[in-house]
Structure 1
Amino acid sequence: MSLPILYSFRRCPYAMRARLAILAGGARVELREIVLRDKPAAMLAASPKGTVPVLVLPDGTVIDESLDIMRWAFADDDAGAPDLALIAANDGAFKHHLDRYKYADRHGGDPIEHRDAATRLLDPIETRLTGNRYLGGGCATITDLAIMPFVRQFAATDRHYFDALPLPALHTWLAAHLASDAFAAAMLRLPPWRPGDAPARFPSHKALDLVPPASG
């Protein structure tokens, strides 16, 4: 039986959270790493908007929104209902300011102004994590996996600045994710996919041994 096909780009935070959810939810896919400047025709035929991630199910159904892929991955797993308001703030205002901070040369404006605005949007996450290991309590859920890749990107833009922020719970939460076997498994390096390549199963059997499914 053929596996669902996931078109992905390793460093994209949207694709990253889809891969993390597939790992945590216990799903299996064929992973196709793409090059953004040379997107494969098969991916564009499935999803003409041309953004990753794109999941193509064996029956031809296409899921090309990262949160919908996460829901698909967790369909048979009690991972807790996602906090849609917190995710919306991440995907909306936080991502807006993050892009203008990290990629200031593309957007213009003052990157420090956008950095400071993004920093203020981390306060609700710090509040939620104070006294809790994860955003949903004691276990990682869709909400954690959806937001973490963007906080990681923010932190990596200026690590000295981020490390100096008075957000101890957020620092602990991010460090735990980045040190996890799940993150290492999700960030595997693959050569760009080409038609005719042997399928790359994700997660591999080794990753399945390392990464237990999340629970709510």
Structure 2
Amino acid sequence: MSTEKSVIKGTPEPGPVPKDIIRLYSMRFCPYAQRTRLVLHAKGIKFDTINIHLKNKPEWFLEKNPLGMVPTLETPAGEVIYESAITCEYLDEAYPEKKLLPSTPYGQARQRMMLEHFSKVELHFYKIPMRRLKGEDVSGLEAELKVSLTKLDEYLVKKETKFFDGDTITMIDYMLWPFFERIEMGDLEPFLDNTPELKKWRAHMLEDPAVKATIHSVESHKAFLKGYAAEKPDYDYGLFLPQTMSSEKSFAAGSPAPGPVPKDQVRLYSMRFCPFAQRTRLVLHAKGIKFETINIHLKQKPDWFLEKNPDGLVPVIETPAGEVVNESVITSVFLDEVYPEKKLLPATPFGKAQQKMMLEHFSKITPQLFKISSARRKGDDVSGLEAELKEKFTSLNEYLVKRKTKFFGGDTITFIDYMMWPFFERLGMFEVQHCLDHTPELKKWTELMLEDPAVKATMHSTENHKTFYNNFLDGKPDFDYGL
């Protein structure tokens, strides 16, 4: 009974919570519900989700929680728990295998006091941008928020740790995170300029699998906030609805062929864990192109897909005119040319050739990643292969040092960055993150890429990548893993 689309008044009540899982009643853009989702992911708790339309709540939901708020948890025994901090502490106690709260009463009290202090300003992350939209003065709110952020920064300086209660993430980090994810939503990034330790904390948090599993793009947050401020919240913003024929679940042999591509958008045939298809998704998101997605079961491909692309590979782009374009680089170049509003490739022929040559060099690295993984799986020595990979990473690092730029094409993300990124996202999957230890500029590049909205919109957690990849190597790929 998991849902992405929000359920409304009149929707049938879901059945009992299945045994051995827990149910979360949520709303996709709610920072408080995200706290609970973070804890569920961090602790590896199996759960399903029912998203609630908070302006048109089902009667049966109000019976479970008369306050009508999310998050709300329901157990197979029918126990109902609500309010974000309470649900999170409940989960930490009920599932003790990976504790997030400290073990001592004082340690727990200290985290609760910090959360209580933060609660005084957490809604400023919303109040400031909403009042700006109305043209109201926000200087007082901004001053209060700056004071609070400075205190948090000073706390980290004093602790001398990566996170707020040590060098690993604990409950307090997850309780604070949802509001810091929304920094760009309110154009509040300058508030971090004088809080270097807090800025580092935020970068570390973006590396966390639970954060990656629950994150929304800046554009999605902004669009939802704008609708919410206008009293027209779109709780399903960003979801592809059935009439556009988008799918998350993969289409297999025997699936009906989709209809024509709707006017004013393109269709992407993809696979959720494919790094090559991710290249095309990155470009679509970065350029703000309206598109729908059909995910393909690559072991049981529908006949109608093979008619469009006899190679049977993804990504494939289809236009309303019936034009079909395949292969990751070709589709990405095609999109950059057809939608010229935000160009990703350089304007000059030589600039384009430079990026294409760099991509050609990079294409020698990607097989190396798979070789290392395959050899390690067989129990072979991978030190030689890793040494070769480190040499290649060193060359990329030297390129950035020589250019003195944040990204490979300048100080803003360009085409080449998006073509390379999907494989760097998977370094954890290949277990070669340590190969970046001696390439500081390349490491900085990966951190900057993690801040990019298109990257956030297309990202999977390392755990999800690993699970899919291991199943793939075992000959049992689950193309719908995690859905």
| TM over 0.5, shorter chain | yes
Cα distance between partner residues in 1 of 2:174 and 2:121:
16
8 Å CA contact 2:23, 2:74 repeated in 1: yes
Cα distance between partner residues in 2 of 1:99 and 1:124:
20
8 Å CA contact 2:22, 2:47 repeated in 1: yes
Q: CA deviation at 1:128?
A: 2.3
Structure number with larger C-alpha Rg? 2
Q: CA deviation at 1:140?
A: 0.5
Cα distance between partner residues in 2 of 1:90 and 1:162:
16
Secondary structure at 2:121's aligned position in 1? Answer: helix
1:180 to 195, 201, 208: 208
Q: CA deviation at 1:68?
A: 1.3
1:79 to 100, 107, 121: 100
Cα distance between partner residues in 2 of 1:138 and 1:21:
18
2:463 to 203, 209, 215: 209
Cα distance between partner residues in 1 of 2:69 and 2:37:
15
**Alpha-carbon spacing, 1:166–1:208, altered in 2? closer, same or farther (3 Å):** closer
Cα distance between partner residues in 2 of 1:166 and 1:11:
28
Q: Aligned runs of 1:20-31 on 2, under 5 Å?
A: 20-31=38-49
Q: Aligned runs of 1:84-123 on 2, under 5 Å?
A: 84-91=112-119, 93-104=120-131, 110-123=137-150
1:135 to 150, 158, 164: 164
Cα distance between partner residues in 2 of 1:48 and 1:107:
32
Cα distance between partner residues in 1 of 2:184 and 2:147:
14
Q: CA deviation at 1:10?
A: 1.7
8 Å CA contact 1:155, 1:162 repeated in 2: no
Q: TM-score with structure 1 length normalisation?
A: 0.78
Q: Which moves more between the two structures, 12-21 or 25-34?
A: 25-34
Residue 41 of structure 1 aligns with an amino acid whose one-letter code is E
Q: CA deviation at 1:185?
A: 1.2
Secondary structure at 1:100's aligned position in 2? Answer: helix
Q: Aligned runs of 1:59-74 on 2, under 5 Å?
A: 59-74=77-92
Q: Percent identity?
A: 25
Aligned residues: 197
8 Å CA contact 1:182, 1:210 repeated in 2: no
Q: Which runs of 5+ in 2 are unaligned?
A: 1-17, 103-107, 217-237, 242-459, 466-483
**Alpha-carbon spacing, 1:25–1:35, altered in 2? closer, same or farther (3 Å):** same
Residue 170 of structure 1 pairs with residue 198 of structure 2: yes
Q: TM-score with structure 2 length normalisation?
A: 0.37
User: Counterpart of 1:199?
Assistant: none
Structure with more relative contact order (C-alpha pairs < 8 Å, separation 6 or more): 1
Deviations 1:69-103, CA, capped at 9 Å, x for gaps: 11122220332334111101112x11253343132
Q: CA deviation at 1:65?
A: 1.1
8 Å CA contact 1:19, 1:186 repeated in 2: yes
Cα distance between partner residues in 2 of 1:107 and 1:57:
42
User: Counterpart of 2:73?
Assistant: 55
Q: CA deviation at 1:190?
A: 6.8
Q: Which runs of 5+ in 1 are unaligned?
A: 193-205, 212-216
Q: CA deviation at 1:13?
A: 0.9
RMSD: 2.9
**Alpha-carbon spacing, 1:123–1:47, altered in 2? closer, same or farther (3 Å):** same
8 Å CA contact 2:162, 2:204 repeated in 1: no
